[in-house]
Amino acid sequence: MQVIRFEGVHYNVNKTALVQHLSFTIEEGETMVLLGRSGSGKTTTLKLINHLLVPTLGRVFVEGKNTFEWDPIPLRRRIGYVIQDVGLFPHYTVRRNVALVAALEKWDDDRIEKRVQEVLQLVGLDPARFADRYPHELSGGQRQRVGVARALCADPPILLLDEPFGALDPITRAELQREFRQLQRQLKKTMVFVTHDVAEALLFGTRIGLMKEGKLLILSAAQEFLSSQNPEIKSFLEPIRNTVSLLK
């Protein structure tokens, strides 16, 4: 089943095209990775899905419905959103941060507490140790785990992830990537994952979409991506191949 569909989407600011000619579909349970250099249009594309941005031209469909026809609030509550700097409320405890969308959806207190416990455990945080802490009392990796838990709490069918591990040190990043890969296999949600790291794209992507100057140059499975002769793809793969060569 198609969960997300772009039809000829452009987004302009002051007559400058940030994305253009975007047409693709994302199937239920798929993880589509948007890969590209800074300024290539990845985050803009992500924000067009949850109606934080509105297409200048073309149409975006979520669960078969044009985003113009959605009320933005229920649309966004069906979409978990994880960003690089987490965006936790500093004056809220971990419990309250995680429960935010569930509380807005007016879940009862017992249901919220049960779900908060579940998702904290799911992301590797012991609720007894962490639920009553504040963001400033956590490490960067722990805050990022809380951000993932918050995105999952109301059990949305779609997750958008904008370079969620980009600001972490290499060891913490590798740990979270392994843990998220397990979550990905376990939850089977429809995901759109933005990164500029080709290794991360290959780790998570059912398909990889390479963006440049607002255009989607190629959208393919990982194996096709690896064997592509596209010059832009080859430039992304070159550092990996150089590292392997040096190790040999």
DSSP 16-72: EEEEEEEEEEEETT-EEEEEE-TTSSHHHHHHHHTTSS--SEEEEEETTEETTTS-H
Residue 15 has a CB neighbour count (10 Å cut-off) of: 6
Look at residue 246 in the predicted model and tell me its pLDDT: 43
Per DSSP, the three-state class of 190 is strand
Contact 77, 101 (CB under 8 A): yes
C-alpha dihedral (224, 230, 240, 42), degrees to nearest 10:
-90
Structure tokens given for 211:
């963006």
Q: Within 13 A of 240's CA, how many CA atoms are on the CB side? A: 12
Question: What does the angle CA 151 – CA 147 – CA 122 come to, to the nearest 5 degrees?
Answer: 75
Is the full-model pTM beyond 0.75? yes
Look at residue 208 in the predicted model and tell me its pLDDT: 94
pLDDT (tens, 9 = 90+) of the chain, 248 residues, equals: 899 999 999 999 998 999 999 999 999 999 999 999 889 999 999 999 999 999 999 999 999 999 999 999 999 999 999 887 678 899 999 999 999 999 999 999 999 999 999 999 999 999 999 999 999 999 988 998 999 999 999 999 999 999 888 777 888 888 888 888 988 888 889 999 999 888 889 899 999 999 999 999 999 998 888 888 888 888 878 766 654 444 44
The CATH code that applies to domain 1-78+158-248 is 3.40.50.300
**Distance from C-alpha of 221 to C-alpha of 190, rounded to nearest angstrom:** 16
Look at residue 244 in the predicted model and tell me its pLDDT: 42
Residue 121 has a CB neighbour count (10 Å cut-off) of: 12
**Distance from C-alpha of 171 to C-alpha of 19, rounded to nearest angstrom:** 34
Contact 36, 42 (CB under 8 A): yes
Q: 115 — phi, psi (to 5°)?
A: -70, -40
CA distances from 45 to 28, 39, 146, 193, 245 (A): 18, 11, 24, 11, 35
Residues of the chain with CATH 3.40.50.300: 1-78+158-248
